[in-house]
A and B are shown apart, each in its own frame.
Chain A
Amino acid sequence: MAQIFRPSANSIAHASLLGVAIVPLVLGLAIAALSRSPWNTKVDVPLNQPVPFSHQHHAVELGLDCRYCHKDVEKSSFAGLPATETCMSCHSQIWTNSPLLEPIRQSMETNTPIKWTKVNKVPQFVFFNHSIHVNRGLNCNTCHGAINNMHITAKGNSFQMAWCLQCHRAPERYLYKDKAPEAQGRAPRQQVFDLYKKLQEGGMKSLDEREKQLMSGHFDGTNDPADILAGKKLINEYGVKTQQLADCWTCHR
């Protein structure tokens, strides 16, 4: 009886067996890695905008308050994007001939809003509210990364659910209050914006370790027992209902 296969078929058979074991594993890991990579999440990937607006320049170098443009951030779910008039409140006086600002002038002239490219978004089935986060003293950078260093705005974090839950399952690692005596009486939301002021006036060296991490976009929650204890106190003070914070309906209603 003639042989059906050549001897090399043995090697192919062995390789196939190995492949059956390895390929699904590698494929699974590759999908896992890709879905977490900037290729999918767009973290740190600057997006094209009609006008190359720099947060670093406006918020830190010039010292504009976040709320000058994102005026609803304390009161509304949506932080708000500035109307063309807001831009023009300065740019009708300075850089009036800058070619970079041509789209702003066009927008003003034709009375059509500028179409900014959305950088941070959550899916439609997620009910996110800016005001509650700001009013509990969570700094913009906690979610948006080192916005104070961005020339062209990029996403600071993945905004994947696992990332949200890091804080929603352990808010004490993220809640924060300035320890300086003069800051004690201030509303939590005031501290959010004061931190940028502090950075602008005193530079990085005026900040404590945690603030430095926050301002460089590397804050992933504290592990310092003292800070966690302080965070727990803030949870009590603010009345954060930790048992409900990671329930499905908190964000998906």
Chain B
Amino acid sequence: MPKQPLNDVMITGQQTYKSLDDSISSLILDQKRHKKPWWVMFALGVSLLGLLGASVTWLLYQGIGIWGNNIPVSWSFDIVNFVWWIGIGHAGTLISAILLLLRQSWRNSINRFAEAMTVFAVMCAGMFPLLHTGRPWVAAYWLLPYPNIMAMWPQFRSPLMWDVFAVSTYLTVSVLFWFMGLIPDLATLRDRATNKLAKVGLGIASMGWRGSNQHWHRYEQSYLLLAGLSTPLVLSVHSIVSFDFAVSIVPGWNVTVFPPYFVAGAVFAGFAMVMTFAIPIRKLYGLQDLITDRHLDWMAKILLATGLIVFYGYVLEAFYAWYSGNVFEWNNTYYRRFVGPYAWAFWSLILCNGIIPQLFWFPWARRNTFTLLFVCTSVSIGMWLERFVIIPMSLTSNYLPSSDKMYYPTFWDFGMYIGTIGLFITLMFLFMRFLPIINMFEMKDLLHKINHALQKHDEPHAEEASVGGGE
């Protein structure tokens, strides 16, 4: 393929402003576009959501004794799942904040989608530490600093406290970012809607957006400010999550590479999840012209890059366990990871996160839907295993041989985990049906820029508001 300017393949097919608007907004305005596959996935999501409801109800009734956690393994599936979900959210923030600031216009067709994933993933993540307290209804006064009648104040020296702020800031900024970006599109939908109820609902949600010059001016300014706010969050949230472990004295949690290694892992997991959803959806709704093969190719490259950083983290963890000369670190690493009852988890992790993503060195693997989905699924599993290896497995053996104890999850441990996947699927599929999954106005802006570039490049076709090209 001849070398083409970047923008050329970010939108393919004969596209006009109207065709862009039509292909995206009809997903909401023409509900008949959602056929059997949507219902199948939604039913799956809702039934798993039912499992979540049952798990939470039984948990609240019975207490956290229904989980497999016990001393010394006091953190297990609950914290594993928390870290896993928080990590998945990171792709959205990276795409919307950092790629925006870096003017990567290819983000335009995936940012809305990834931001929604961020919000939903953080919601799933947030449930775990709250339920881990056993009494979520009183967690407010355990977690938040406010002048209360007990004269108690949270322990600000604890990374768990930093986590409360990191995650709640993350959720707030992500929701704001997502909603702000939706406003111009909601206004477009409002103007195109024929249904009275949809008109009023979208009218309220679009907050009086008229698309005036002033509106756009303020929108651009505040969007940029929010992007600036979110950028440090991409790095800080998962760094702080890693401090939950790295600040402690548990063997296996002590490597100083934890923060960057966790952040890379988060972006790794996040992009894998974005692709896991993007690939079937673009096929289902015929959006291949907007989420192009080039998008998937680039996301696969990011996956490869972050995967290498993560793999470097695994190597360093093992290296420092040996190089530190700390007998407890080395015993934990050797007898709990390399060999022993949990070795299967460690070696599956190396396979899923270390070896399988290396497929992406080959261009054919980055363009084949099957290999993309295969690697992404393997990464999602691998990232879950990574947290499992780090959290409960390290806790099963610490300084005293007498405190070695195996950890066995129960049905309810799995129930909660699979249940949150159900919540995520339900929310994603509702989102697809009721909100624009691709940023319409940014795509139109991109189209305008492409046309403009083409006009300069190729005068005779100046009148035609469409793009040729593609692959």
Contact = CB atoms under 8 A, between A and B. Distances in A.
Contact of A35 (B149, B191, B203): B149
B190 interface: yes
Interface string A28-39: 000010011000
Interface in A150-170: 158, 160-162, 165-166
Contacts of B151: 161-162, 165-166
B152 A161 contact: yes
Interface in B205-253: 207-208
B190 A4 contact: yes
Interface in B144-168: 147-152
Nearest to A161: B150
A36 B150 CA distance: 11
Contacts of A36: 149
B150 A162 contact: yes
B148 A162 contact: yes
Given A4-B199, A5-B203, A13-B207, A160 B150 contact: yes
Interface string A17-49: 000000000000000100110000000000000
| A: contact size bracket | 10 to 19
Nearest to A1: B191
Given A10-B208, A13-B208, A4 B203 contact: yes
Contacts of B101: none
Q: Chain A contact residues: over half helix, strand or loop, or mixed?
A: helix
Interface residues of B, number: 13
Contacts of A1: 191
Contacts of A160: 149-150
B150 A4 contact: no
The CB with the most chain B CB atoms within 10 A, among A1, A4, A5, A158, is that of A4
A162 B147 CA distance: 10
Contacts of B207: 13
B351 interface: no
Contacts of A161: 149-152
A231 B208 CA distance: 65
A160 B191 CA distance: 57
Nearest to A16: B204
B250 to A, nearest CB: 23
B200 interface: yes
B200 A4 contact: yes
Contacts of B191: 1
A110 to B, nearest CB: 42
Nearest to B202: A4
A162 B149 contact: yes
A225 B184 CA distance: 65
Interface string A203-238: 000000000000000000000000000000000000
Nearest to A166: B151
A4 B191 CA distance: 10
Interface in A31-79: 32, 35-36
A158 B149 CA distance: 10
A158 B150 CA distance: 11
A14 to B, nearest CB: 10
A168 B152 CA distance: 13
Contacts of B150: 160-162, 165
Contacts of A165: 150-151
Contacts of B152: 161
A184 to B, nearest CB: 35
Contacts of A158: 149
Contacts of A162: 148-151
A10 B203 CA distance: 12
A35 B200 CA distance: 40
A32 B190 CA distance: 42
A166 to B, nearest CB: 8
User: Closest 8 interchain pairs by CB?
Assistant: A162-B151, A161-B150, A160-B149, A4-B203, A165-B151, A4-B199, A162-B149, A35-B149
Given A5-B203, A161-B149, 13 more contacts: A1-B191, A4-B190, A4-B200, A5-B200, A10-B208, A13-B208, A36-B149, A158-B149, A160-B149, A162-B148, A162-B149, A162-B150, A165-B151
Interface of B: 147-152, 190-191, 199-200, 203, 207-208
Interface of A: 1, 4-5, 10, 13, 32, 35-36, 158, 160-162, 165-166
14 contacts: A4-B190, A4-B199, A4-B200, A5-B200, A5-B203, A10-B208, A35-B149, A36-B149, A158-B149, A160-B150, A161-B152, A162-B148, A165-B150, A166-B151
